[in-house]
């Protein structure tokens, strides 16, 4: 209504028409150039919405804003490459691939539904299919998600969202990550954006841990960040000691991986003095055993700090729609990802229902893998029959039992996607006309055939 979309081109998803070779080519497509502004990017959890793109026969190009990742993934999704389906590596019509996928799921005792990199409609379709066929449901970032969910379910937490960070944070402590490797524009868009209540020059950034690219990060206000280098494996102990200092019950401690007690005392004091402090982490970068305990220690520090000032956690996520999958799972099943449907009920086990782990243990006898944003997100190696719904360009060797090219939400069709602060859901637009089917569409077809 009322022309809210600033897009010049209405979003449209055409149906598939099958060519003689079995590929699903686009219906006649006008190859004049289209320019669109205020475009939302679905390729990381920041969901930046200030991109401009141009699309023509040569492809889709990000012309304004964006980052290396968005430029690559918008471009790879360019029109002109028709979709295809394969059974055991052989090109087949879509219907045949759908029938084969349905046959695999029919015969499976317990399939796994993994990857889950799709939009809300895609997750809804997968959960409906899983509810019918039984099976394990997990996101490709499930292991990382659990590093946050376990401490949340143990003790709860205090968190914040991007706009609060942008407008209020006078101290940002970053634990175990550079953030930018996964969320390239974080400091530009979130940490140092225009603010209502704080000057950028007043903001301090402290990195703790073994993050890769911290040297490249400087504050927009000009102040370089403070960097406390240590192995990420030490973060649980470090924040455990900081927690003790904040509580006033730890008076001394040996240096932890080169970080002295005096350094931690100073850090604790800075955190106490902040008016609105933020402790940010990226669970995907805390890749070591029992990393949930590091997150738990961080959350404990935040709780204590709030006795006297305001401080909040920022567990940044969202890539490949991990927060999207988690939200839909929560409202439809009551649980985060890592669930299983069996005997007509749904159950949740953060350890047992990891897709990778279930495959390794031989608990599942088929796998449906969904990766609609990035063709690099390949399925885990397995001998069980695998159905892959992926963005065009995923090359698997040996080939999957079934592979179907699918559209990318936010590029080929509209959809809903959660930003990485877990609160704001955005409406992705369809930017180019495409014959590629959506994940929701293919899954519904498979479900109808099961």
Q: State phi, psi for 258 to the nearest 5 degrees.
A: 90, -10
Binding mask 396-415 for another protein (x = CB under 8 A): ------------------x-
Binding segment for another protein (CB under 8 A), chosen from 72-80, 189-197, 351-359, 365-373, is 189-197
Burial 182-191 (b: 16+ CB within 10 A, else e): bbbbbbebbb
DSSP of 340-402: EEETTEEEE-TTTT-HHHHHHHT--SEEEEEESS-TT-PPPP-SS-EEEEE-TT---SSPPSE
Residues whose CB falls within 8 Å of the CB of residue 158, separated by 6 or more in sequence, listed in order: 299, 302, 303, 306, 311, 312, 313
306: left (phi over 0), alpha (psi -120 to 50) or beta: alpha
In the bound state with another protein, the residue whose beta carbon lies nearer, of 377 and 429, is: 429
- Enumerate residues 266-295 that contact another protein by CB under 8 A: 275-276
- Enumerate residues 32-51 that contact another protein by CB under 8 A: 38, 40, 49-50
Please state, in angstroms and rounded to a whole number, the distance separating the CA atoms of residues 187 and 316: 13
Residues whose CB falls within 8 Å of the CB of residue 358, separated by 6 or more in sequence, listed in order: 112, 136, 138, 352, 364
Residues whose CB falls within 8 Å of the CB of residue 72, separated by 6 or more in sequence, listed in order: none
Are 115 and 282 in contact, with CB atoms under 8 Å apart?
Answer: no
> Is residue 6 at the binding interface for another protein, with CB under 8 A as the rule?
yes
Binding segment for another protein (CB under 8 A), chosen from 3-11, 21-29, 105-113, 280-288, is 3-11
- Enumerate residues 301-320 that contact another protein by CB under 8 A: 306, 309-310, 312
> Is residue 89 at the binding interface for another protein, with CB under 8 A as the rule?
no
Residue 312 CB, shortest distance to another protein, in Å, is 6
Among 418, 420, 436, 437, binds another protein (CB under 8 A): 418
> Is residue 194 at the binding interface for another protein, with CB under 8 A as the rule?
yes
Among 248, 252, 344, 397, binds another protein (CB under 8 A): 344
Binding mask 95-134 for another protein (x = CB under 8 A): -------------------------xx--x---x--x---
In the bound state with another protein, the residue whose beta carbon lies nearer, of 40 and 449, is: 40
Q: Return the structure tokens found at 199.
A: 């000057």
Using the Cα atoms of residue 146, residue 148, residue 149 and residue 155 in order, give the sign of their dihedral: positive
- Enumerate residues 157-186 that contact another protein by CB under 8 A: 157-164, 166-168
> Is residue 335 at the binding interface for another protein, with CB under 8 A as the rule?
yes
Q: In the complex, which residues of this chain contact another protein (CB under 8 A)?
A: 1, 4-6, 38, 40, 49-50, 120-121, 124, 128, 131, 149, 152-164, 166-168, 189-190, 193-197, 275-276, 306, 309-310, 312, 326-328, 330-336, 341, 343-348, 414, 416, 418, 422-427
């Amino acid at each position: 209504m009322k022309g809210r979309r600033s897009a010049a081109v209405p979003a449209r998803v055409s149906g598939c028409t099958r060519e003689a070779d079995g590929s699903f080519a686009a219906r006649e497509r006008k190859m004049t150039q289209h320019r669109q502004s205020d475009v939302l990017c679905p390729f990381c959890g920041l969901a930046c919405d200030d991109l401009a793109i141009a699309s023509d026969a040569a492809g889709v190009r990000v012309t304004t804003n964006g980052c290396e990742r968005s430029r690559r993934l918008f471009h790879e999704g360019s029109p002109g490459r028709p979709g295809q389906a394969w059974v055991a590596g052989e090109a087949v019509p879509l219907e045949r691939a759908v029938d084969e996928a349905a046959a695999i799921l029919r015969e499976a005792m317990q399939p796994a539904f993994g990857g889950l990199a799709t939009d809300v409609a895609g997750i809804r379709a997968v959960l409906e299919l899983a509810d019918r066929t039984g099976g394990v449901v997990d996101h490709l970032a499930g292991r990382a998600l659990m590093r946050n969910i376990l401490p949340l379910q143990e003790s709860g937490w205090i968190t914040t969202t991007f706009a609060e960070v942008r407008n209020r944070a006078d101290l940002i402590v970053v634990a175990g990550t550079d953030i930018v490797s996964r969320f390239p524009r974080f400091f530009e868009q979130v940490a140092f954006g225009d603010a209502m209540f704080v000057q950028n020059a007043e903001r301090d950034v402290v990195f703790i841990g073994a993050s890769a690219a911290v040297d490249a990060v400087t504050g927009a206000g000009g102040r370089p960040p403070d960097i406390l280098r240590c192995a990420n494996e030490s973060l649980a102990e470090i924040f455990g000691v900081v927690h003790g200092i904040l509580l006033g019950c730890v008076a001394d401690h040996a240096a932890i991986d080169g970080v002295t007690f005096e350094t931690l005392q100073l850090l604790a004091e800075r955190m106490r003095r902040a008016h609105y402090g933020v402790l940010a982490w990226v669970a995907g970068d805390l890749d070591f055993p029992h990393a949930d305990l590091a997150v738990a220690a961080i959350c404990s520090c935040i709780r204590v700090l709030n006795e006297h000032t305001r401080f909040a956690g920022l567990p940044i996520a969202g890539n490949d729609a991990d927060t999207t999958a988690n939200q839909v799972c929560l409202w439809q099943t009551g649980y985060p990802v890592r669930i299983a449907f069996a005997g007509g009920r749904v159950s949740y086990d953060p350890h047992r229902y990891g897709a990778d782990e279930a495959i390794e243990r031989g608990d599942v006898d088929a796998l449906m893998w969904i990766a609609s944003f990035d063709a690099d997100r390949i399925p885990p190696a397995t001998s069980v029959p695998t159905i892959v719904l992926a963005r065009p360009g995923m090359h698997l060797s040996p080939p999957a039992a079934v592979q179907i090219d699918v559209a990318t939400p936010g590029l080929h069709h509209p959809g809903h996607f959660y930003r990485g602060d877990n609160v704001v859901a955005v409406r992705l637009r369809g930017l180019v006309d495409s014959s590629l089917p959506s994940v929701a569409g293919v899954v519904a077809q498979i479900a109808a055939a099961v």
